[in-house]
Amino acid sequence: MNVKVVASNRKAQHEYFLLERLEAGIVLTGSEIKSIRAGQMSIKEAYVRVDGNEAWLIESHIAPYDPASRMNHDPKRPRKLLLHKKEIAQLWTEVRQKTLTVVPTQVYLKDGRAKLEIAVAKGKKNYDKRESIAKRDTDREIHREYKIR
């Protein structure tokens, strides 16, 4: 199984508690998949909208593929996610009832197909962010001390 990470959303780890992760396929056009294979995708501002029976990737940016010229795609168009009905229903109930959100964490190529890892997430408060930054700094200090010794 050959996996190549194309884009990752490192900010999601800082902004949210990531509770559950799922793998979803993405419905793409030809010029979009070629651009993704060239590594020209960003999901920093992206989010996932779940309505009754579909899931959509919103505000992700896939750069236009130059050789496609006039047959190119809209870089910011909404893209449908491929998930099982049960997974979509589960996401829908968690978003509505538990006031959680669904964020994309990374896009990767798995056996030549573009896959999106999404996570059910709960927003962090400012004190939670400070706590995680402090923990990361102390871990870094401890690692430096062991490295020196």
- 50-94 pLDDT tens trace: 987 999 999 999 999 888 777 788 889 999 999 999 999 999 998
Tell me the CATH architecture of domain 3-124: Beta Barrel (2.40)
> Residue 36: pLDDT band by 50, 70, 90 thresholds?
very high
pLDDT, mean of residues 104-122: 94
Q: Is 115 in contact with 23 (CB distance < 8 Å)?
A: yes
Whether the pLDDT of residue 124 is over 90: the answer is no
**pTM of structure:** 0.82
Number of alpha helices (DSSP H) and beta strands (DSSP E) in the chain: 4, 9
- The mean of the pLDDT values for the chain is 90
Confidence (pLDDT) at 129: 83
Query: At 75, which amino acid appears?
Result: P
